[in-house]
Amino acid sequence: MPNHISIPRNEAGRDFIVGDIHGHKDLLMEQLLYLGFDTNKDRLFSVGDLIDRGPNSLDCLKLLDAPWFFAVRGNHEQMMMEWALGQGWPNWHNDYGMWTDGLDDSEIAHWAERLMALPISMTVAGEDYSVGICHAEPSGFEWDDMILDESCFQQMMWGRKVLMGNTDPRPVQGIDITLHGHTPVSNIRRVGNRYFLDTGAGVGEHLTVRKIAELVSEYRDFAALA
């Protein structure tokens, strides 16, 4: 799997984005039921961190088998993958990963392989827009450059500069909006055209699922007034 993938427009239904799920498949399914999500035509995009902290990490990994579910790799997927491959993060199991104790070696190897195949970023086309997705934050201000530059991947998966105010807030070019998780916020935060959607499901707060077209429309309304 390449580090970046482009997803064509959904001709049949709606596209949604979900913040960090962190093992809370129950919260996700409640949200999808409320939104009338149709698995036959709607699609759900994840900003990563499907696993750890919550009660159902394995069930969240199994979402990767659903044809309507698309995810980028979060830092928790990266930690699990490196732990399983013996390449790093030796403390991941004790800190987050005891849910793997019920899995045998072949199952762990299977999921490590699946996580390795997840892209670092995605570009998703809509009817008249395109959005960029990576786990933590953009690295720079040109989407088309950063998605191909391996030196950007660390910040795209782990960075917190934007929400800490340590970078220029001007919009990312080449894309309508970008969508991220990683850093828990009490409500969706927008910085320039970057949206942060981890509203704390992993720490006992709520899970956010939003229609992507509505976020694009909201940003365009804001930009028109600026």
Q: Which residues are catalytic?
A: 76
* Residue carrying the six token digits 């919260």: 27
Asked if residue 121 lies in contact with residue 3, where contact means CB atoms within 8 angstroms, the answer is yes
Rounded distance between C-alpha atoms, residue 159 and residue 157, angstroms: 6
Alpha helices in the chain (DSSP H): 25-34, 57-62, 75-84, 92-95, 105-116, 143-146, 153-158, 212-225
Q: Give percent helix, percent strand, percent coil of the chain, each to the nearest 5.
A: 35, 20, 45
Q: Read off the tokens for 88.
A: 């790093």
Asked if residue 49 lies in contact with residue 75, where contact means CB atoms within 8 angstroms, the answer is yes
Residue 137's nearest CA partner among 187, 197, 87 is 197
Q: Read off the tokens for 11.
A: 């001709």
Q: Which amino acid is at 170?
A: R
